[in-house]
A and B are shown apart, each in its own frame.
Chain A
Amino acid sequence: MLDGRGAVKRRAGARLWLSGLWLAIVALAAVFAPLIAPHDPLMQDLLYGRLPPFWMAGAEPGYLLGTDSLGRDVLSRLIHGARIALIVALVAGIGTCLIGSTLGLIAGYYRGWADRIISRLVDIWMAFPPILFAILLIAVIGTGLTSVIVAIVVIDWTRFCRVVRAETLNQSQMDYVHSARIAGFTRMKTMLSEILPNVLPTIVALLSLEMGIAVIVEAILSFVNLSISTDQPTWGGMIAEGRLSIHQAWWVLVFPLITLFLTVLSFAQFGEGLKDRFDPVLR
């Protein structure tokens, strides 16, 4: 048993550090984008169109990852694209988390009518294909950063609501909750100071996962040309352009794809790692 626990802990540790490292790189790139990007991400230079990455014949020094069909530097666009990705991840992730967790806590602890109404709402939301719902919302409220964030919060709060509700239901049966009530705590206080801390590890893990999902949803919306305006480099927009010129310049698609892949994987693994670390049973 002890050995098993050690193994889980070691693996969780590696997972946490590797994913944390990548997320830190993305965050640094986003914050210091204008300082570290070698070129202006929007500057077009048709003479330098579709330059291959540095190790291939025909590469130009200074354009490490090559250029797209308009001659824009892929690396600089990747670095600047991290900004939108990170803003969407943070704001949409936290918004989804606050709304979903609050409703989940209320439904799970107060039960009764509150639970019935919230659960019906979740049922209705689960009947929509999420991506179609998001695309529809963006078409309705217009494109732009705020719209993308609003759309993600509107479609994805149910993820938190379902999990937090189930977890709260479990916790509500525990002895410590009954003791708190007997000790004279109000229901509100019991919920916030007794149940919430015990549900928190789950919420934190889910928040990290949700940030990765938000990045993907933004990329998908950019891919169908419904996200941010086209003069702002985004990973999804780069992928959409790369998809069109895949036979002439694969690097325009491959590098943003690798970046997106690592970022989404890291957010999910970071969340799992945090959960293992804070799981009272494993600790």
Chain B
Amino acid sequence: MPILRVVLSRFLTTLITLIGVAIIVFVVVRVVPGNPIAMMLPPGASTADIERLSALYGLDKSIFEQFTIWFGNVLQGDFGTSISTRQPVLDLVLGRLPATLELSLMALIIAVILGMGAAIIGTRYRGRRTETGVDLANGIGLSVPDFLWGLLLIILLGVVWPLFPISGRVSPRLDLPFSTQFYLIESIFRLRFDLTGNLLRHMFMPALALALPLAAIIAQLLKQSLKETVNLDYAVLARTKGYSETRVILSEALPNALLPTLTLIGVQFTFLIGGTVIIERLFSYEGLGNMAVDAVINRDLPLIQGIVILFALIFTAINLLVDMTYAFLNPRLRHA
């Protein structure tokens, strides 16, 4: 069964990747020159105080010992205690994760809608000015990263035409009845559509900034495969049957052109999530990325470790999922 072998080997490489991630995070974080213990204590602290606190955080043991202890704890879900807030890292990180997930998924939805829309319009009006316009927009979308789109949106839709708020996840004075951190989803379930609207208005600009580069990639690849499929026999046949060009594209060409785009979206989605780090910072959106930048500035080592490991877990999970989907959809592997 080749498919079983593919699945197993992918699981194995994922495991190796995760161990590698853990080693690198540990090594990078442990060579930090600024001594976090010295920063936690007042200037007049005695050597004994420093040693006591070092022992408390396990910083007096050998590096290898520290790694095995830390890695063992991580495997049990214990990421230690944040130095700046004195709270368990896992609680802090899981508290912020929903905000980042909601933002990333919203961005993904926008990217897919914009990208597919552009590809379909570009194919429908191929050879005309419209297609040139779509190509030009794609070119710009591909070359300009989310950070610059975010700044541009802040100026255009936040200052010149102040249609959307430029910072935060939700208006600060609102009374929030939520019991989870999935504000957007919970507001819909609680039928508090006033809050849904407020959350969406805050989310719109950061999500659009994250979405634009991905939308351009989707549009480019999908348009390319659509233009190949609209000339295939079954599309020509549909046209001779009197189907309109739009219908030929939507119901004949699109389903067949979609597969390569789907696998691409999976991989590119991890880049989008990586972009949340700076986009959340830019829009003061209280998610994981914003917390990560704060943690680095405060030299909060346990918190940094926890956040990076969580991001790595999400990325490898998405990559694994994409590979598995591809393996199952690929007829050569499925029927072997």
A residues with CB within 8 A of B = 120-121, 123-124, 126-133, 135-137, 139-140, 142, 212-213, 216, 219-220, 223-226, 239, 243, 246-247, 250, 253-254, 257, 260-261, 264-265, 267-269, 272
Contacts and interface: CB of A to CB of B under 8 A. Distances in A.
Contact of B17 (A124, A137, A223, A224): A124
Nearest to B135: A11
Nearest to A260: B148
Interface in B287-312: 289, 292-293, 296-297, 299, 304, 307-308, 311-312
B262 interface: no
Contacts of A247: 159
A131 B142 CA distance: 18
Interface stretch (B20-28, B184-192, B224-232, B252-260): B20-28
A253 B312 contact: no
A246 B154 contact: yes
Given A127-B312, A265-B144, 12 more contacts: A121-B20, A129-B311, A132-B274, A140-B32, A140-B33, A216-B145, A216-B148, A223-B278, A246-B155, A254-B155, A257-B152, A269-B143
A189 to B, nearest CB: 33
B154 A132 contact: no
A123 B13 contact: yes
A245 B154 CA distance: 13
Given A139-B299, A247-B159, A131 B154 contact: no
Contact of B296 (A135, A213, A260, A267): A135
| From A139, A224, A272, residue with most partner B Cβ within 10 Å | A139
A6 to B, nearest CB: 15
A243 B164 CA distance: 16
Contacts of B315: 126-129
Contacts of B67: none
Given A220-B147, A246-B159, A123 B277 contact: no
14 contacts: A120-B20, A124-B24, A127-B319, A132-B289, A136-B296, A142-B33, A216-B148, A220-B147, A250-B155, A254-B155, A261-B144, A261-B152, A264-B144, A265-B143
Contacts of A123: 13, 16-17, 20
B17 A127 contact: yes
A243 B148 CA distance: 12
Given A265-B143, A269-B139, A130 B274 contact: yes
Interface string B145-181: 1011001101100110000001000000000000000
B281 interface: yes
Given A131-B275, A261-B144, A124 B20 contact: yes
Contacts of B275: 129, 131
B273 A129 contact: yes
Contact of A135 (B270, B293, B311): B293
B31 interface: yes
A57 to B, nearest CB: 18
In which size bucket is the chain B interface? 35 or more
A267 B144 CA distance: 10
| From B278, B282, B299, residue with most partner A Cβ within 10 Å | B278
A140 B148 contact: no
Nearest to A122: B17
A276 B216 CA distance: 20
Contacts of A137: 28
A144 to B, nearest CB: 13
Interface in B96-151: 139-140, 142-145, 147-148, 151
A132 B307 contact: yes
A264 B159 contact: no
Contacts of B28: 136-137, 140
A269 B136 CA distance: 11
A251 B33 CA distance: 38
B221 interface: no
Contacts of A268: 142-143
A212 B278 contact: no
A268 B216 CA distance: 14
Contact of B29 (A127, A130, A140, A253): A140
B316 interface: yes
B319 A126 contact: yes
Contacts of B155: 246, 250, 253-254, 257
A127 B152 contact: no
Contact of B274 (A131, A226, A243): A131
A265 B142 CA distance: 9
4 nearest CB pairs, A to B: A268-B143, A129-B274, A124-B20, A127-B312
A131 B278 CA distance: 7
A136 B21 CA distance: 14
A28 B20 CA distance: 44
Contacts of A128: 21, 24, 274, 308, 311-312, 315
A131 B17 contact: no
Nearest to B307: A132
A132 B152 contact: no
A224 B21 contact: no
B18 interface: yes
Contacts of A223: 147, 278, 281-282
A225 B294 CA distance: 11
Contacts of A135: 277, 292-293, 296
Contacts of B144: 261, 264-265
A264 B145 CA distance: 9
B72 to A, nearest CB: 20
B33 A127 contact: no
Contacts of B31: 140
